[in-house]
């Protein structure tokens, strides 16, 4: 374990965080409010947790909230670090390592994304089944041990995906699965890049998720990920994304995501 993660773990223990977590949920742009309904939360700013990111993006609060939610022990991460902020694909490494050290049954990532599908429009949810990373960046570059050769088959855990789909079914909420293609950002994609992404098999494009999944899989965490579609990707069906639109649609679509996460947590398998 890195010394930063050790220090963060000690700080969490000093705040009374002891029991393993049933799940940790990373809240993306505009989704931080989903953590508001925790009972007896312990709230710690990322600034007080060594190795955690220092979010620079509006819509990312930068706080860890741990407590009980839907009868489960849950950590919400309000905001994430992105590769595009400082060019570091390991922006979430310290946070993910700390969660793994704490003992965490499932890591669920949420993130805004642009859609390349006619049946997925602003406000809809997509369950990520797999990703494409052609960035040339990987958070495990520079790790000098054999565990860097992470198997990425079923990286998006089939069991968690089934639980998320079952939760959506109980709510009558459509949750189609799709492939997420990671672009570095922070500029949005060009229409030509979006056409390329579609030809390569992407259903949605976004600026996060993939490096976090790679980091988490190295540590053996089970991962699930849900995209909140905030727009059609640039040039697709008239898509012309802006960050303001991402934040505005994320805020309106957050209700559906909140319901999905509640239902997922209620139904989650606990050891």
For ligand HPA, the binding residues (CB under 6 A) are: 112-114, 183, 188-189, 205-207, 230-231, 233, 241, 246
Residue 192, C-beta contacts closer than 8 angstroms, at least 6 positions apart: 235
Instruction: Yes or no: say if 206 and 111 are a contact pair by the CB < 8 Å rule.
Output: yes
CA nearest neighbour of 225 among 240, 214, 234: 214
Instruction: Yes or no: say if 165 and 260 are a contact pair by the CB < 8 Å rule.
Output: no
Closer to ligand HPA by CB, 41 or 253: give it: 253
Q: Please state the closest distance from residue 121 (CB atom) to ligand HPA, in A.
A: 12
- Residues listed for the chain: 271
Q: Please state the closest distance from residue 194 (CB atom) to ligand HPA, in A.
A: 8
Closer to ligand HPA by CB, 41 or 206: give it: 206
Q: Please state the closest distance from residue 124 (CB atom) to ligand HPA, in A.
A: 12
Token code pair at residue 14? 């000093």
Closer to ligand HPA by CB, 170 or 243: give it: 243
Q: Please state the closest distance from residue 63 (CB atom) to ligand HPA, in A.
A: 21
Q: Please state the closest distance from residue 249 (CB atom) to ligand HPA, in A.
A: 8
Q: What is the β-pairing status of strands 39-45 and 63-69?
A: antiparallel
Closer to ligand HPA by CB, 94 or 241: give it: 241
Residue nearest ligand HPA, Cβ-based: 114
DSSP string, 165-225: HHHHHHHT----EEEEEE---SSPPPHHHHHHHHHHT-SEEESSSHHHHHHHHHTT--EEE
Closer to ligand HPA by CB, 242 or 270: give it: 242
Token code pair at residue 114? 């642009």
Closer to ligand HPA by CB, 82 or 218: give it: 82
Q: Please state the closest distance from residue 49 (CB atom) to ligand HPA, in A.
A: 26
Separation between Cα atoms, residue 25 and residue 35, nearest integer Å: 9
């Amino acid at each position: 374990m890195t010394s930063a993660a050790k220090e963060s773990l000690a700080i969490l223990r000093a705040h009374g965080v002891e029991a393993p977590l049933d799940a940790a949920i990373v809240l993306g742009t505009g989704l931080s409010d989903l953590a508001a309904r925790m009972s007896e939360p312990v709230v710690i700013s990322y600034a007080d947790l060594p190795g955690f990111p220092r979010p620079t993006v509006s819509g990312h609060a930068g706080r860890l909230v741990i407590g009980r939610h839907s009868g489960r022990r849950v950590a919400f991460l309000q905001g994430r670090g992105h590769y595009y902020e400082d060019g570091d694909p390991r922006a979430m490494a310290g946070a993910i390592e700390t969660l793994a050290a704490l003992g965490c049954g499932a890591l669920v990532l949420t993130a805004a994304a642009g859609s390349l599908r006619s049946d997925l429009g602003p406000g809809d949810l997509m369950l990520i089944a797999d990703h494409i990373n052609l960035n040339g960046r990987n958070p495990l570059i520079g790790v000098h041990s054999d565990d860097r050769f992470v198997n990425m088959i079923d990286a998006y855990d089939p069991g968690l995906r089934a639980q998320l789909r079952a939760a959506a079914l109980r709510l009558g909420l459509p949750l189609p699965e799709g492939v997420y293609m990671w672009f570095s950002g922070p500029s949005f994609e060009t229409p030509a890049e979006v056409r390329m992404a579609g030809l390569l098999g992407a259903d949605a494009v976004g600026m996060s998720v993939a490096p976090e999944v790679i980091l988490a899989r190295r540590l053996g965490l089970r991962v699930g990920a849900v995209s909140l579609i905030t727009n059609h990707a640039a040039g697709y069906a008239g898509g012309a994304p802006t960050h303001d639109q991402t934040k505005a649609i994320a805020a309106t679509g957050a209700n559906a995501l909140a319901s999905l996460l509640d239902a997922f947590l209620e139904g989650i398998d606990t050891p």
